[in-house]
Every structure is written in C-alpha cells, then in structure tokens.
Amino acid sequence: MKLEISGLTFSYENKKILNGLDLSIREGEFVSLLGPSGCGKSTLLKLLTGVISPEGGQVFADGQRIRGITEHFAYMPQNDLLFPWKTILENVCLYGRIHGGLEQMKGEAMAQMGAFGLKGYENEYPSALSGGMRQRAAFLRTLLCHADILLLDEPFGALDVITRGEMQDWLLGVRDRMNRTVLLVTHDIDEAIYLSDRILILDPATGKTGSEIVITEAERSRDWLFRQGELRQRIYGEIMGGGKND
Ligand SMILES: Nc1ncnc2c1ncn2[C@@H]1O[C@H](COP(=O)(O)OP(=O)(O)OP(=O)(O)O)[C@@H](O)[C@H]1O
Ligand SMILES: [Mg+2]
C-alpha cells in the first residue's frame, strides 16, 4: 500500500514539532527515518496511527484520504507495551483478539516462536523474559497484525548488539517476502543502510524531512557495511547538520 503525507503540521503546546511535512512511500518500499533525539520521529508515527491528531495536513493510503485510527497501520511503539498480566502468546495475539481470527493467529504465532527466540516461553508472563525477548515479542505481535503498512519505532533499540544483528538479518530475509510498506524509525545508521531502500532525515529546524539517501541493493550488504564508511559519514553529517550542508 502506498503512503502519502502532505503538509502535516503538529505542535505540543506552543512548540511546533512538524511543520508542513511531506512524505511519500511507494508500495512495498522500506524507508528509514533518522534524526536527532526529540525531532519528532515518534510523533510522526503517532499521527499516522491516529493516536494523536494533526493541526493540519493530510494522509493518503493508496490515494484515499484517511483520518483517525484506521486498519492500515501495524504500529510498534518505542516502548514494548506488553501487558504484564497476559502470557506471551496472549500478548502476541492481541490483535487477533481485538479484530477476530484469534485461533488462526495463535497458529501463526506458534509457528514463528522459534524464529523469534521465544519457543518455550509462550505461556510465561513478560516479567519472566529479558528486555530483548520482550522486544521480540512486541515485534512479532506487530508482524502478526496483517495491516499493509508497518510503523516501527526503534524496534531493536533495546537489544544487545548480537541479537540486534540477528533480528536485522532476519528482517532483511523476510523483507521482500512479507511485501509490506515499512516506515522504520531508528538511531542506528548501519541498521538504516542495511535494511532500507531509502533513508530520510527529519530536520528539527524546519519540522520537515530534509535530505534523502537512496540505498542500492549492493550497499545493503553487511560485507560492504564493514568496508564502507563514507556513506555512513554522510548520513551522520546530514543528521547533525539537519540537511543544511548540501
Ligand atoms: N506528550 C507530550 N507533551 C509535550 N511534549 C511532548 C510530548 N511528547 C513528546 N513531546 C516533545 O515533542 C518533541 C518530539 O518528540 P518525539 O518523541 O516525537 O521525538 P523523537 O524524534 O521520537 O525522539 P527520540 O529519538 O528521542 O525517540 C520532543 O521535544 C518532546 O519533548
Ligand atoms: Mg522517539
């Protein structure tokens, strides 16, 4: 599903966070959004999900204007938000419980538990899991929601570097197969290069997206990642300079 955002504006109290932001993501495209802490990345995702409402601007899914909470987005918030009183399986199948199809979703969830390193923990409560396991459970929950557009807010942020690498490899492996449009918020430049078709920088000075960097398939390789430095340096410069240096 194609996503288009036009002139999105939002303030918290008197502080303008987004100011006429335009953004377009092709069907099946994987876009990462980078920017300094506090620039409004999570705010943008919350606006898309309808958790908060914009002051101005429009959002279109496949050309249709959408408003408020819709079925188009699967959202993984920055904090994992598992319910402590529900088991891992119940947490992971939350959307099945809400939208129906719970039994089928449980079957899908059980089939994926191994890949997410959660096998054997289906009936445990979140308090029995490590931070990384909880984050993987939240990620699995998001993927099991069959909405066309995934909004991922630092999904691997709390993971140790090894697990994070494994999850990135896994996501890259299923990226094309799952055929979803993805908007990923991350602070990890390497992760953005490794997973994305395109990287956008959110510029706090303007409240809009500034620079955009297209990533080729060759650049999305870990081997290459170990050798490269220039692209990483450039993206880092764009974040620090807010895109004013081009
Ligand atoms: N509920 C709120 N009330 C008032 N201000 C808020 C609220 N939530 C966020 N803000 C402010 O809005 C700005 C953008 O916040 P947001 O969470 O979108 O940033 P971010 O880019 O996701 O940052 P990070 O990379 O640290 O997660 C920040 O300056 C933050 O202090
Ligand atoms: Mg954030």
Question: Does residue 80 lie in a domain region?
Answer: no
Q: What is the pLDDT of residue 97?
A: 78
CB 12: neighbour CB atoms within 10 A? 10
pLDDT for the residue numbered 136: 87
Which atom of ligand 1 is closest in space to residue 44's alpha carbon? 18
Q: State residue 107's pLDDT score.
A: 94
Reduce the DSSP state of residue 200 to 3 states and report it: strand
Ligand 2: distance of its center to the CA of 201 in Å?
A: 14
Residue 135 lies in a domain: no
CA 233, CA 231: separation in Å to the nearest integer? 5
Q: Report the number of distinct structural domains present in the chain.
A: 1
Within-domain flag for 84: no
Residue 209 bridge partners (DSSP): 202
Beta strands (DSSP E) in the chain are 3-12, 15-25, 30-34, 56-61, 64-66, 73-76, 149-153, 181-185, 198-203, 208-214
Q: Which residues contact 110 (CB under 8 A, 6 or more apart)?
A: 89, 122
Q: Which two tokens stand for residue 200?
A: 């956008």
Regions in the chain scoring below 70 on pLDDT: 222-228, 242-246
Note whether residue 9 is domain-resident.
Answer: yes
Tell how far the Cα of 154 is from the centroid of ligand 2, in angstroms: 8
The whole-number pLDDT of residue 171 equals: 82
**Is residue 8 in some structural domain?**
yes
Q: How far is CA 76 from the centre of its chain?
A: 7
Q: What is the pLDDT of residue 225?
A: 64
CATH code of residue 176: 3.40.50.300
Q: Shortest CA distance to 220 belongs to which of 30, 53, 38, 92?
A: 30
Cβ distance 187 to 156 under 8 Å? no
Give 223's contacts (C-beta < 8 A, 6+ positions apart): none
CA 38 to ligand 1 center in whole angstroms: 5
- The pick from 42, 45, 79, 239 for probing ligand 1's pocket by mutation, whose C-beta has the most ligand atoms within 8 angstroms, reads 42
- Which is the closest atom of ligand 1 to the Cα of 187? 25
Rg of the chain over all Cα atoms, to the nearest angstrom: 18
Give the range of the structural domain holding residue 185, as residue numbers without chain letter.
1-72+170-246
- Span from the CA of 44 to the centroid of ligand 2 (angstroms): 9
Buried b (16+ CB within 10 A) or exposed e, 196-229: bbbbbbbbbebbbbbbebebeeeebeeeebeeee
> What pLDDT score does 242 carry?
57
Question: What gap in Å lies between CA 193 and CA 68, rounded to an integer?
Answer: 32
159 within a domain of the structure (yes/no): no
**Does any domain span residue 86?**
no
pLDDT digit string, tens, across residues 11-26: 999 899 999 999 999 9
Nearby residues of 81 by Cβ (< 8 Å), 6 or more positions away: 138
179 C-alpha to center of ligand 1: Å? 30
Nearest-CA residue for atom 24 of ligand 1: 37
Per-residue model confidence as pLDDT tens digits over 165-179: 888 887 887 777 778
Is 116 contained in some domain?
no
Ligand that comes closest to the CA of residue 35: 1
